[in-house]
Amino acid sequence: MALVMYDLDGTLLDTADEIAEAVNLTLKEFGLESVSVDQVRNWIGHGTGWLMKRAWEEQQGPADANWDKVMQRFIHHYEATAGTTSTPFPHVLETLRKARDYGVKQAVVTNKERRFADRILQKHGLMDQFDLIVCGDSLSVKKPNPGMINHCLDTLGVTNGESLFIGDSEIDVSTAKAAGVLCWAVPYGYNLGRPIADAPARVNTRAKLFYANSLKRLLSSTLIFQFVCIKTMAHLLRYVRVRYAVDFLV
């Protein structure tokens, strides 16, 4: 395994609270009621503009509002809240360090804008863990377009056959599948409010069986990131090499 690519929100870090705070500060400025953190969590995945639009529509914000102004205020608030209350999911930090110790290249592939992704990673001291960070405004495309993953492969000089993408959503699964890259989906993320295991349109039967059985048996009942322990990391890497995993290439 030469390269592991990670989604950010819902995979590496739980960022819902600080995003919700910025959303609600923005809504309040325009005289609208707040939305819940659970609602915001279900809207994460397509970038902040899409998310803010969902919150605006949910609270029946004026259709003729100056959207540039709304987003300017959101950006102002999110620049203040980004990295303040977000937390790494269990075992993430150890996993990143262990993968690096093994000489595995690592990258972040997120639809979040660069200014926010960098701020969050910096505040958690994670910038030096990654060889490349590809954001929603880095290229002309976003996930699920495979161009983001292909950019990682080309930039880092790695083939899709020796790479792994780890995410939490159907968007991530579709991106990896389109790029021909092995994909593992963590069960604890956002996925627009839907369990990732219940995504028959995107996850084939073989993948669902692995998710439900082999993943739990190999790692734990809930967390893919427990491969941080050396004894399980070694097992995980062997499985990756023989492509015995959640394989979306079928």
Distances (CA, A) of 91 to 53, 150, 229: 33, 27, 9
Structure tokens at 76: 């102002």
Query: In DSSP terms, which residues pair with 109 in a beta bridge?
Result: 134
CB 218 within 8 A of CB 235: yes
Look-up: residue for tokens 């000489």? 103
How far from the centroid of its chain's Cα atoms is residue 12's Cα?
Answer: 7
Question: Cα–Cα distance between 191 and 183 in angstroms, integer?
Answer: 15
Q: 12: helix, coil or strand?
A: coil
Please report, for the chain, how many H helices and E strands are present, in that order. Answer: 11, 7
Task: List the catalytic residue out of 7, 9, 14, 168.
Answer: 7
Question: Cα–Cα distance between 129 and 107 in angstroms, integer?
Answer: 8
Per the annotation, the verdict on 14 as an active-site residue is no
Residue 18 exposed, middle or buried by CB count within 10 Å (0-12, 13-18, 19+): buried
* Contact partners, residue 22, CB within 8 Å, separation at least 6: 74, 77, 78, 80, 81, 82
Catalytic residues: 7
